[in-house]
Amino acid sequence: DGGITQSPKYLFRKEGQNVTLSCEQNLNHDAMYWYRQDPGQGLRLIYYSQIVNDFQKGDIAEGYSVSREKKESFPLTVTSAQKNPTAFYLCASNSLAGSADTQYFGPGTRLTVL
Amino acid sequence: GQQVMQIPQYQHVQEGEDFTTYCNSSTTLSNIQWYKQRPGGHPVFLIQLVKSGEVKKQKRLTFQFGEAKKNSSLHITATQTTDVGTYFCAGPNAGNMLTFGGGTRLMVKP
């Protein structure tokens, strides 16, 4: 069963803690993306990666970090430097690196900072 | 940089009424994509338009790409409660990344 998986679905953390959100895809896609969505708002790009071991900052990268050690995996770390991390985080991928091809989204992770 | 704007931001309709959302880009687009996000869910790809003036239909949904390839619309005929959700348009920017509009949230009263 192909697709993108994200875990966990819900995540709670205390202020000052780093937390890592998982994103895995078995679609053999080259490019992967992380978006943040606040309630009632659109999608804002955090980071993206077009090939393994390479990634680029998006519009709101401050307070976040990523890695791309494998083609299938693109984990996002929300650091304590992110001032307002409570949000819905969506991972996406597409097949053509550098091309604005259709993006496939994972189910998302809802992060709440207590 | 490129901006993609959608109006309206919210729309309440009575079930059976029609609904239209409009998408406008500050730059000419090579294509326009539409996605639907159900409440609590994730965006799901609906359709891509490529040609100037292109019109595509999916059952009660009609998608249109403007002649200048800077605007697009999604029209839903006779809305149903299953149409509830947020509709996003998205277009490629100069870096060939997708820029998403802010979305139009559709609410349908049964």
Q: What is the 3-state secondary structure (H, E, C) of B11-48?
A: EEEECCCCEEEEEEECCCCCCEEEEEECCCCCEEEEEE
DSSP summary character for residue A70? B
Which residues of B sit within 8 Å Cβ distance of A?
A: 30-31, 33, 41-45, 48, 88, 90-93, 96-98, 100-103, 105
What pLDDT does residue A98 have?
54
What pLDDT does residue B1 have?
77
Question: Using 50, 70 and 90 to split pLDDT, how confident is the model at B95?
Answer: confident
How much helix, strand and coil, in percent to the nearest 5, is found in chain B? 5, 55, 40
Question: Using 50, 70 and 90 to split pLDDT, how confident is the model at B96?
Answer: confident
CB pairs under 8 A between A and B: 45
- Cβ(B61)–Cβ(B46) below 8 Å: yes
Q: What is the spatial distance between Cα A54 and Cα A48, in angstroms, rounded to a whole number?
A: 9
**Tens digits of residue pLDDT in B52-93:** 999 999 999 999 999 999 999 999 999 999 999 999 999 988
- Cβ(B85)–Cβ(B101) below 8 Å: no
Residues from chain A that touch B100, judged by Cβ atoms under 8 A, are: 42-43
How confident is the model over A65-81, as a mean pLDDT?
96
CB atoms B96 and A100 under 8 Å:
yes
Q: What is the spatial distance between Cα B4 and Cα B32, in angstroms, rounded to a whole number?
A: 10
What pLDDT does residue A99 have?
56
- Does A5 touch chain B if contact means CB atoms closer than 8 Å? no
**Tens digits of residue pLDDT in B39-56:** 999 999 999 999 999 999
What pLDDT does residue A114 have?
86
Strand-pair partners of B58: B61
- Cβ(A49)–Cβ(A69) below 8 Å: no
CB atoms A43 and B43 under 8 Å:
yes
